[in-house]
A and B are shown apart, each in its own frame.
Chain A
Amino acid sequence: MVYSNSGSIIISVKELNAWYGEKKALSNINIDIKKNSITAFIGPSGCGKTTLLRCLNRMNDLVDGFRLTGDILLDGESILSKNRDVIELRRKVGMVFQQPNPFPKTIFENMALPVKENFGNVRREKLEEIIETNLKAASLYEEVEDRLDSSALRLSGGQQQRLCIARALTINPEVILFDEPCSALDPISTMKIEDMLMELKQKYTIVIVTHNLHQASRIADEVAMFYEGQIVEQASTDVFFSNPKTQLAQDYISSKFS
């Protein structure tokens, strides 16, 4: 059941090229992302992982001078077409950033804001229920249960990141993009988030950028390796780590694992 589900493709990137002004950041990207799976983007710094990730929910629209060619399909529909509603897209494709970025508000308000903004004025009990469910899903609930009304900025870094994940879940996306969510965290927080991601995969499609190959091998179903703006190898996790086809991948894996 789960397996057959993960066979269908939710995002499909076709012939994507991207530039920051004159500087080319992505060239000729083709990749399919399967539903209810975890896809990991790996590769050396500056190779374009974040750029591609931010193309998937059009966050790069904010960047002056950014432009791209090619196409990205979500459920078979282009997300780049002129009349595509970006807001609706971002509701379907949520994002968790490398740096935890809770709003300077209470924990409760952090969670409630996207709910209210996306679903209108929900009843208080309903709101509390949504918040509780998602905090639990991000395995944060027990830690903050009794201080929902204190500032989110007082949480630890790991807690803040889990809050951001919980917050991303509140709007019920289909896909969640994670950009190095654990880079600022200690091993224990990292483990917690990894467990959580494995859990979330049941309901959501996950794309994660990571420098941690152990992490990729632990949680990812698919791996795509980037190098200088191109995808040099992409395969299922088992195949990628046990039997990398390109020299670049072999070198990268061995240097990182040694």
Chain B
Amino acid sequence: MDSLELSTSLSVDKAEKKNQSIRVRLGRLRDSVCESGIFVLTASSAIIIVFIFIFILIKSWNIFAVNGINFVLKSGFDQQIIEAYHAPADKPVWHFGALGLLLGSGLTTVGALLLAIPLGIGTAIVITELSPRWMKGLLQSFIRLLASIPSVIYGLVALLVVVPFIQDNFITSELQLQYIKQFQLTGNSLLAGIAVLSIMITPVIVALSVDAINAVPHRYKEASLALGLSHWRTIVKVIVPSAKSGITAGIILGTGRAIGEALALSMVSGGIGNIPNPADGGVFFLTPILTLASAIINKSESMSVPSINAALFACGVLLLVTCTTLSLFTKIVERSIRRREGLE
């Protein structure tokens, strides 16, 4: 009796086991199909990116072959475009120098980051730590909205508000006369570019910082408060540092948007690739400038001329290289942060 029960239960067990092993194997199969699917997708998008890069490189190759390193060391892009455009077809102009554009992109981006990082993190702190619960949701959806507004809207608003503001408040007619032989002080300037960019990227930084701060475990906050730190010191010393990698991601995303922004900047930054001179003092910020991305947009009408076409693709190469470097750099920074925190 006993042994019988035992044996039946054993056989049931066996059947069950068989079933189970089939299920396990099916599950494994499904997993491996999913995995290979994801692998194919990832690989193909990587291949597409590589192809884009190669395509742009080929398109611009002649520029680098002719100009070499001078492409990033010499300036005068605007005039070179005009010369190239009017050059007879049998004597094309291949000499270009994009230093002004490179500096334009660099200065607007750095300037915007200097404003947007403190503003963005500060706003994120206000939203997560200092506002009552009902306001949090409201503020957060407002920030998301701001982050999703197309850049042309920002450009338009900046053109109608920021540019006249700069003109009315920072520029005198004497100053305009003093500089008219070098450039036009009209409000369309590095400063306007920085302003519009910082307004554009702040919501991005805020949105990601809010998520990062919300993800900081509550126990860190409690530990800090229990150690006699004030709420404010807890934010500064524990919460924000613990959210570092998320905040960094926000900053990087913002930087990417800033470097790649073309439309809004081409509307307010002046449209000429001047190199701001620190010796000019405050006028440094009032100098009209042109960025790599804006140049591609503004000059794209001349793309029918082969040398201009190549020069604009070369600007694209510079943009791509900058962005790639940036994201590699981010990966390194992020990894080192995580390593120091002991998360890896």
Contact = CB atoms under 8 A, between A and B. Distances in A.
Binding between chains A and B: yes
Which size class do B's interface residues fall under? 20 to 34
- Looking at B133, B220, B342, the one whose CB has the most chain A CB atoms below 10 A away is B342
Interface in A178-226: none
B31 to A, nearest CB: 30
B28 interface: no
Interface string B212-228: 00000101111111111
A98 to B, nearest CB: 10
Contacts of B226: 57, 59, 90, 94-95, 97, 168
Interface in B175-226: 217, 219-226
Interface stretch (A7-15, A26-34, A147-155): A147-155
Contacts of B144: none
A91 B220 contact: no
Given A113-B237, A114-B229, A103 B224 contact: yes
Interface in A67-108: 87-88, 90-91, 94-95, 97, 99, 101-106
A62 interface: yes
Contacts of B227: 90, 94, 113-114, 117-118, 167-168, 171
A164 interface: yes
A147 to B, nearest CB: 11
- Looking at A57, A104, A151, the one whose CB has the most chain B CB atoms below 10 A away is A104
Given A62-B225, A91-B228, A95-B226, A101 B237 contact: no
Interface string B232-262: 0100011001100000000000000000000
A142 interface: no
A118 B228 contact: yes
Chain A to chain B: the 9 pairs with minimum beta-carbon distance, closest first: A151-B342, A153-B342, A104-B341, A91-B228, A101-B219, A95-B226, A114-B227, A101-B223, A154-B342
Interface of B: 133, 217, 219-230, 233, 237-238, 241-242, 339-343
